[in-house]
Amino acid sequence: MSISFFRPSLRLFVSPSLLLLFSAAAFAPHARAQTAPPPPPTHSHTPAASSHSAGIVALDQFVTSAAPFERNQVDLAQATTVLSGLSLRLKQQASLGDTLGSETGIHATSFGPGASRPIVRGLGGDRIRLLENSVGTLDASVTSPDHAVSVEPLLVERIEIVRGPASLLYGSNAGGGVVNVITHRIETDLPTAPIRGSVEIRRGSAADEWAGGGVVDFSIRPAPDRAVVFHLDGFRRTTENLRIPGFAKSARRRAEETAEARAHGEPAPDFAHGLLPNSALTTRNGAAGVSYVSKTFHLGVSASGLDSAYGVPGDAHEQAPAATSATAAEAEGIRIDLRQRRTDVQGEWHGHDGFVRGVSFKFGHGRYRHAEIEPDGAIGTTFTHRGHDARLELLHGTTQPWTGALGLQNSRSDFAAVGDEAFLPPSRTDTTALFAFEELAAGPISWQFGGRVERTKLAATGHSARRDDEFSGSAGGVWKLSPDYALAFSVTHTGRPPNAQELYADGAHAGTQSFELGDPKLHAERSLSAELSLRRRTGLVTGAVTAFTNRFNGYIFEQPTGLVAAEVGGQFRFLSPADPAVAAADETLPVYRYIQRDARFWGLEVETLWHLHDRPNWQLDLRLAADFTRAREGARDLPRIPAARTGVGLFWSTTAWSAGVESQFYSAQNRVAPNESPSARYALVSAHVSRTAEFGHLRTEIFVRGTNLSNAEARPHPSFVKDLAPLAGRGVVAGLRLSF
C-alpha cells in the first residue's frame, strides 16, 4: 500500500495551522471535555463514562492522578489523557513510551523497541514523573534514554496522563507532567465475584513478537461488607530484530560514512537493511499480592519482579571494520540485562461524616540493576538503584463547596554506576515534601489551588553535598460556561534542583554512544507555566482546544558541542571531527554537555470527535486532532523538540464489533538546535478491527491491528538514535483476550 493512496485525505492536514483553525471553527458551537478519544470510541461499552439521551453523547472519564480525589476530566484545571480497555490494548507495545506516543501532546524518546519514555509537550527525562499506582517506578530510566522503564504495558489496566505541571502532588520532577500506570495489584474495592481474571495472548509480525500473560484475583470467604483478596499475575514477551522499511541508518548518515570511507581509500560500508540490528528483546514479569477490603477501609501488599534483556540499536561502541551483514552489525551492539524487584504497601480509610474524609498511605520499595554488556560479552558498566517512595494524604472538607488534602511525601534514591565506563559517581538523593491541594466551588467556577514545599539533599562521592529548598504553587479553575461548555485555566510555578547526572556526568556512556559532561555549578531550574482550555462534553462535535506556555529560568538541557571525544592511548581528547587525530583514535564519541539557559515552551493542542452517527446500537465517529510545541532559548531552538503533528481517523462501533482507520502526519522538523540535524516528514497509517462476545461469565475479545500500513520510513525527531534506528515498518498484531 503506497502512502500516495492516503494523500488526498491528508492534504487538508499537511499544515497543522490549517487543522487547528478548522477544528477551532467547528469547536465554537460544539466541543468536548474528553481530551483523548479512544480508537475505537468506547462510549457504547462504558456506561460509567457516557450516557445516551436523544442522540446526545457525553464522553468523560474519571481521573485519580491530577488531584488527591477522583474527578471527571471536565472538572480538572489541567488537560488529561486516559487510556483503558480496548483502546489501551490496541495501542500496547513493548515500551511505555511507544504505547503512549500517538496520544495528543505526547511523543516518545524511541530508543529502539526495548527502551522508550514518554515526552509530554516537548519535556521529558527528569521533568516527567512516571508512576505505578501513584508511586514512583523506582528504576534508572530517568538517567538515560536507553534505560527501560520498569513497567510492562501488557499487564496495565489503565494509564492516566496529566499533560502539564503536576509538581504539587508528585514533586519537582513532575513539572512537565505525570504518567500514572495502574496495575491494580492491590485491591481497593469489594469484589463483585469470588474469582475474576483475564488471559491474553498476542502475536506481532513487525518483530516476530510473541506475548502472553494472565491476571487472577480470588477472594477467601468473602462477606457482603469485607473480603480478603489474593492477586497473581505474570507475562512473557519475546521479539526478534525489528523489521524496518529500508536502511537502519538515514540517508544523510550513509552519505557521510560512504564519503569518509572513500576519502580513506576504503569501500563503502555494507549498511544494515530490512532489519534493525540488535533490537531483539525478552521480558518477563510477575507479581503476587494480598489485600483486606471493607466498605470503608483497605490494606494490601504486593511483591513483583521484572527481568528484561534487550539490545540498544545504533553504531558499535568500539570502532570495528564495517559489518558485512545485519548479523555482523548486531554482534557489535550493546545489550542491556535489566532486573527489578519491588514491594508495595497501600492502605486507605474513607468516611462519610466529619471534617476528615479519608486517609491514604502508599509505599513502594525497589531494588534495580542493569548491566550494559559489550559486544564481546564483557560487562562494561553496571547501574544499580535502591530506593523508596512513600506518601501520606489526609482528605478533608465536605463534598461541597470546599474539599482538599494535606500530604507528606518522602523518597530516597541510592544510585551507582560501576565499571570501566562508569560516567556517574555513586550518589544518594533524599527528598521530603509537604503539600496541600484545595478545591472551592463558588458558583459556576470551581477553584483549584495549592502549594508544595520540598527539600532535596544530594550527596555524591567526590563532591560536596548539596541541599535545595524549592517551592511550587498553582492556582486555577474550571468555569462552567453552560451545562455543556467549560473553560479551564491554571498558572503553576515549579522549582526543580539539578539531578546527579546533570551535575556530575563525566565520561563515555556506552548505551547512548556519547561522552557526557555535567556541570557542578548548575542552579535550580524554575518555571512559570500557564494553560487555557476550552472544552465541551456533549454535542455533534465534542473535544478540547488547549493552549499552553512555559517559561524557564535556568532550563537545563544536554547540548551537542560539535566536538568528538577521541580515545588515544587510553585517554580521551576533545577534538574537532576534522582533526586528523580522530581517524587514528581507538574510539570516538560525540560530546554532549549539560548547560543552563532561560527558555520558553509554548504550543497548542486540538482534539475533536465528530459524531457522524450515534445510536445506542452503533456509532460512527470522525476524529480530527493536532498538536505542536515550540521551544527556544533566546533566539535558538532547543534540541529534540517533537515536530508538529496532525491526525484524522474514522471509527465505527457496535455492541459487539468495532473498527477504525487513522493516519497521523508528522511535519518536517527544521527548527533545530546548533549541531543538531533536521528530520524529514512522514505519515503513519493504522487500522484495526475487533469482536467481543459473552458466554455466561466468560467474555472474549479478538482484535487485529495493522500499523504503519504505508511502510513509511519514520524517524522521530526527539529520538537520540533517529539517524540510526527508524520505527518499525508495516506490521500486524493479532490478539485474543479472555475475561472471567
One DSSP character per residue, 299-315 reads: EEEEEEEEEEEEEE-SS
Residue 398: what pLDDT? 67
Per-residue pLDDT tens digits for 552-594: 999 999 988 889 999 887 788 899 888 888 888 888 889 999 9
326 membership: H or E segment, kind and range: helix 326-331
Residue 47: what pLDDT? 31
**Spatial separation of the C-alpha atoms in residues 76 and 61, rounded to whole Å:** 11
Q: What is the CA radius of gyration of the chain?
A: 25
Residue 45: what pLDDT? 31
Question: Whose grid coordinates read 527508524?
Answer: 726
Asked if 56 and 118 count as a contact pair (C-beta separation under 8 A), the reply is no
Q: Which residues contact 298 (CB under 8 A, 6 or more apart)?
A: 186, 187, 188, 189, 291, 292, 346, 347, 348
DSSP code for 563: E
Question: What is the total residue count of the chain?
Answer: 740
Between CA 49 and CA 89, with CA 608 as vertex, the angle to 5 degrees is: 55
Residue 35: what pLDDT? 37
> Considering the entire predicted model, what is its pTM?
0.89
Per-residue pLDDT tens digits for 59-72: 467 888 888 888 88
**Confidence band (pLDDT; 50, 70, 90) for 42?**
very low
Per-residue pLDDT tens digits for 263-289: 888 898 999 999 999 999 999 999 999
Asked if 601 and 123 count as a contact pair (C-beta separation under 8 A), the reply is yes
**pLDDT greater at residue 42 or residue 352:** 352
Cell reading at 113: 523497541
**Spatial separation of the C-alpha atoms in residues 626 and 60, rounded to whole Å:** 20
Looking at the chain, the whole-number percentage of residues with pLDDT higher than 90 is 66
**Spatial separation of the C-alpha atoms in residues 240 and 515, rounded to whole Å:** 29
- Collapsing DSSP to helix, strand or coil, 618 comes out as strand
Averaged pLDDT for residues 523-534: 96
The single-letter code of the amino acid at 445 is: I
**pLDDT greater at residue 591 or residue 38:** 591
**Spatial separation of the C-alpha atoms in residues 491 and 165, rounded to whole Å:** 9
Question: Whose grid coordinates read 473498527?
Answer: 659
628 membership: H or E segment, kind and range: strand 618-633
Tell me the H-state helices in 396-511.
500-504
Averaged pLDDT for residues 30-50: 35
Strand runs labelled E in 321-426: 334-350, 356-373, 379-396, 402-419
**Spatial separation of the C-alpha atoms in residues 479 and 76, rounded to whole Å:** 10
Give the chain's mean pLDDT: 87
From the number of C-beta atoms within 10 Å of its C-beta (0-12, 13-18, 19+), residue 442 rates as: exposed
**Spatial separation of the C-alpha atoms in residues 329 and 320, rounded to whole Å:** 10
Domain boundaries, the chain: 3-739
Averaged pLDDT for residues 157-182: 92
Say yes or no to pLDDT of 675 above 90: no
Per-residue pLDDT tens digits for 381-393: 899 999 999 999 9
Q: What is the SS3 string spanning 645-663?
A: EEEEEEEEEECCEEEEEEE
Averaged pLDDT for residues 466-472: 96
Say yes or no to pLDDT of 255 above 60: yes
**pLDDT greater at residue 326 or residue 699:** 699
- Collapsing DSSP to helix, strand or coil, 367 comes out as strand
Say yes or no to pLDDT of 84 above 60: yes
Residue 32: what pLDDT? 34
Cell reading at 223: 462477606
Phi-psi region of 554 (alpha: psi -120 to 50; beta: other; left: phi over 0): left
The single-letter code of the amino acid at 591 is: V
- Using alpha carbons, select from 444, 611, 602 the residue that is nearest to residue 543: 611
Torsion sign over Cα 562, 565, 566, 571:
positive
Upstream peptide bond of 277 is cis (omega within 30 degrees of 0): no
- Long-range pairs of 3-9 with CB within 8 A, sequence gap ≥ 24: 3/683, 3/685, 3/710, 3/712, 5/710, 6/663, 6/683, 6/685, 6/710, 9/648, 9/663
Averaged pLDDT for residues 483-498: 94
**Confidence band (pLDDT; 50, 70, 90) for 510?**
confident
**Confidence band (pLDDT; 50, 70, 90) for 240?**
very high
**Spatial separation of the C-alpha atoms in residues 99 and 686, rounded to whole Å:** 14
To the question of domain 3-739 being in CATH 2.40.170.20, the answer is yes
**Spatial separation of the C-alpha atoms in residues 161 and 269, rounded to whole Å:** 44
Per-residue pLDDT tens digits for 292-347: 999 999 999 999 999 999 998 876 433 333 333 334 434 468 899 999 999 999 99
Per-residue pLDDT tens digits for 92-128: 999 999 999 999 999 999 988 889 999 999 999 999 9
Range of lowest pLDDT (45-54, 68-77, 410-419): 45-54
Q: Best-predicted range by mean pLDDT among 85-94, 184-193, 495-504, 577-586?
A: 495-504
**Spatial separation of the C-alpha atoms in residues 419 and 37, rounded to whole Å:** 47
**pLDDT greater at residue 28 or residue 448:** 448
Looking at the chain, the whole-number percentage of residues with pLDDT higher than 70 is 89
Per-residue pLDDT tens digits for 407-451: 999 999 999 988 877 889 999 999 999 999 999 988 899 999 999
DSSP code for 75: G
Residue 21: what pLDDT? 46
Q: Which residues contact 341 (CB under 8 A, 6 or more apart)?
A: 303, 304, 305, 366, 367
- Using alpha carbons, select from 597, 520, 526, 600 the residue that is nearest to residue 557: 597
**Spatial separation of the C-alpha atoms in residues 598 and 711, rounded to whole Å:** 40
From the number of C-beta atoms within 10 Å of its C-beta (0-12, 13-18, 19+), residue 518 rates as: buried
